[in-house]
């Protein structure tokens, strides 16, 4: 089964891909920056949310989280699983505002896999292992890849109508 692996900030389908976005009455440089800002704000970490607004890359936003020690917090990690609809809103916003994302999503005709260590959003495997492993054997749920596939199908269905 052909698989498109999303694994780095240069891939337009990655939330780490740098492209200006406006959502929730804020401006962001990537969907990942927006996601981490929203997460910090909703979980009561206003200081972290403010620092995230000032970064230039998704990697720097993650560094802010790491420096605060939040990546080890169980509640911090569990929050993602309750926010599937919010992530869809973020990605749909990116679909409207980021032409490279929209173009690439329309072109892909394979399984979409997010190669991250996240057992919820990704395959929980690196890029190479994601390619080598059949989807049924990925330790992660790959929810990000699954809803990108849903959004792609929505685009196709609208184009047919």
CA–CA separation, 88 vs 145, rounded Å?
A: 11
Per-residue confidence (pLDDT) for residue 161, from 0 to 100? 53
pTM here is 0.86
**Residue 36 vs residue 78, higher pLDDT:** 36
The mean pLDDT of 16-37, rounded to a whole number, is 92
Beta bridge partners of 26: 23
Query: What rounded mean pLDDT belongs to the chain?
Result: 89
| Helix/strand/coil percent split, the chain, to 5 | 60, 10, 35
Lowest mean pLDDT among 15-19, 66-70, 108-112, 139-143: 108-112
Best CA proximity match to 40, nearest among 75, 16, 14: 75
CB 106 within 8 A of CB 155: yes
Most confident among 68-72, 115-119, 143-147 (mean pLDDT): 143-147
Per-residue confidence (pLDDT) for residue 1, from 0 to 100? 62
User: Which pLDDT band, with edges at 50, 70 and 90, does 29 fall under?
Assistant: very high
Pairing of strands 111-114, 3-6: parallel
Per-residue pLDDT tens digits for 32-75 = 999 999 999 999 999 999 999 999 999 999 999 999 988 878 88
- Residue 38 tokens, joined: 């929203």
For residue 17, how many other CB atoms are within 10 A of its CB?
A: 22
């Amino acid at each position: 089964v052909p698989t498109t692996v999303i694994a780095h900030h240069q891939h337009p389908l990655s939330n780490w891909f740098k492209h200006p976005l406006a959502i929730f009455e804020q401006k962001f440089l990537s969907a990942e920056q927006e996601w981490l800002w929203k997460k910090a704000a909703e979980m009561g970490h206003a200081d972290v949310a403010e620092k995230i607004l000032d970064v230039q890359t998704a990697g720097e936003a993650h560094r802010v989280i790491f420096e605060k020690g939040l990546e080890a917090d169980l509640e911090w990690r569990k929050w993602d699983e309750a926010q599937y609809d919010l992530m869809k809103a973020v990605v749909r916003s990116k679909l409207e505002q980021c032409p490279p994302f929209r173009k690439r999503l329309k072109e892909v005709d394979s399984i979409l896999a997010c190669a991250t260590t996240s057992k919820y959003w990704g395959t929980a495997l690196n890029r190479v292992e994601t390619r080598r492993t059949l989807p049924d054997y990925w330790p992660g749920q790959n929810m990000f890849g699954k809803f990108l596939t849903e959004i792609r199908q929505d685009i196709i269905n609208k184009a047919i109508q």
